[in-house]
Structure 1
Amino acid sequence: MYGLAESDPDQNLIKREGMSPEALGQIDRIMAEMGRMRRLERQIMRNSQSFMKLNETDMRALRMLISAKHAGTVVTPGQLARYLGISSASVTKMIDRLIDGEHVARRPHPTDRRSWCIEVTDPTHLMAREQVGRHHAQRFEVAREFTDAEREVIIRFLARTSDAMEDSMSRAQTALEGPDEKSGKTGD
C-alpha cells in the first residue's frame, strides 16, 4: 500500500543510504506482496469463520485437532488449553460449543481412563479442507516452481524476517516492562 518513502520519509526507522533506487524498489515490492498475502490470508480465515460459524480460537483449535488426526495423536482438553493459551474453563466452554455444533467429539482417552480426548468430526474436517486447505495448498504449488537454491533463499528470508520481528517484539516488551518488572522487584 505504502512504500518506504511514504511510510518512513525521514528515515527514522529504516536507513536507506547507499541503496540504489532499484534495490529500494525491489524491497518495496517484497513488502507490498507480503502485505497482500497477509490480507488474503485474513480474508480466507474470515470467510471460513463466517461459513463455519466459528471464531478465531475455534478455528485454531480445529487446525490443531486436524493436525493431530493426521499424525495419529490424541489431544486432551488440557493440551488444547495450553496450545490455545486459554484457561481450562474456557476450553471446556469452547469444546461444549464445538460439540453442540457437531464440529468435534469428546471420546474416552484410549490409554488414560481418567481423561478424555477431543477429535474433529469428519464433516468438519472435510469442510475445513475445502474452505481453508485448498487455498493454502496453492502455496505448495508455488514453492514447487522454484529451484532448490531459490527455495533456500526464500526460507532464509522468511526465517530471518521472523527472527527480526521476534527480536523487535522482545525488545519492545522489555522496554515496556521497565527495570522493576524485569528484575522481579516490586518497587516497595
Structure 2
Amino acid sequence: MNAQPDRPGYWYAQDTPAKERAVQVLNALRDYRASEGAMRRRTRATMSMGETDLLALRYLLEAQAQGRDLSPKDLAAKLGITSASMTTLVDRLVRSGHVSREPHPTDRRALILRPTQGSDHEVRKTLGEMHRRMVEVAAALSPKESETVVGFLRDMAAAVDKIEPLAH
C-alpha cells in the first residue's frame, strides 16, 4: 500500500502547515498499519494459525533466543488470557507440532513451553524475507533519522495508551 501524501485526513483539522504535515505522517502510519495487518493475515493463513497462536509462538521463540523459559502461566499473562484459554491454546499448539510441554528444570510440579525446531524453521521460512526487507529499510536511516523515528513511535504509543474508554 503506497502512502498518498496529499490525501486529506478525514477527521483531522488541517488549518496550518504543521497540521497538514501531521496528517501526512498519520496517514502514512495508518497505511503502514494496514500493510502490517494484511501481512499478519497472510502469515496466519500460510501457517494455518490464529493471531493469538502466532503471538504465543513469537513470545516463545523470543524467550528461547534469550535463554529464558516460559511457563503456561507466564505466557497467559503476556497474552492477557485466562488459564482455561491458555490450556486450549497450548493443546492446539502441541497438536499442530509448534510447541512442546516439558518438565520445569527446578520445579517438578511445573511445566515449561518450548517452540519446536520445526516451528522456528516455519516462522523463519514464512517471515524471513519480509524481516530482511524491514531491517534493510530501517538500516538505511541515518543515526539522527533513526533516533527521530524511535522517539516518534514511542511518543505515539504513549499517546494511544492514554486514551480512555468512553463511558456509556
Q: Shared fold by TM > 0.5?
A: yes
Contact 1:44–1:132 (CA<8 Å) still a contact in 2? no
Contact residue 94 and residue 100 of structure 2 kept, 8 A: yes
Task: Report the equivalent of 2:8.
Answer: 3
Distance across 2 between alignment mates of 1:97 and 1:163: 34
1-structure distance, mates of 2:8, 2:40 = 26
Task: Tell me: CA distance 1:32–1:121, structure 2 relative to 1, closer, same or farther (3 Å).
Answer: same
Return the letter of the residue paired with 2:8: G
Task: State the distance in 2 between where 1:77 and 1:134 align.
Answer: 30
Q: Deviations over 1:118-162 (max 9, x none)?
A: 111111111112223431342221121111111111112111111
Partner SS state of residue 167, structure 2? helix
Indicate which of 124, 131, 136 corresponds to 2:126: 131
Gaps of 5+ in 2: none
Answer whether contact 2:70 2:112 (CA < 8 A) is retained: yes
The structure richer in helix per residue is 1
Identity of aligned residues (%): 30
**Matches of 2:60 and 2:105 in 1, distance apart?**
16
Partner of 2:154: 159
CA shift digits 1:63-105 (9 cap, x unpaired): 0000011001111011111111111111111111111111100
Q: Which SS does the other structure have where 2:68 is aligned?
A: coil
Q: Describe the SS at the equivalent of 1:93.
A: helix
Given that 1:62 and 1:120 are in contact with CA atoms closer than 8 Å, whether structure 2 keeps it comes out as yes
SS in 2 for 1:117: strand
User: Which structure has the bigger radius of gyration?
Assistant: 1
Q: What's the Cα RMSD here? A: 1.9
Aligned partner letter, 2:147: E
Give 1:88's match in structure 2, choosing from 71, 83, 86. Answer: 83
Preserved contact between residue 102 and residue 113 of structure 2 (Cα < 8 Å): yes
Asked whether the 8 Å contact 1:65–1:120 carries over to 2, the reply is yes
Return 5+ residue gaps in structure 1 as ranges: 9-13, 178-188
Of 101, 112, 118 in structure 1, the residue corresponding to residue 113 of structure 2 is 118
Indicate conservation of the 8 Å contact 1:74/1:118, yes or no.
yes
SS of 1:48's equivalent? helix
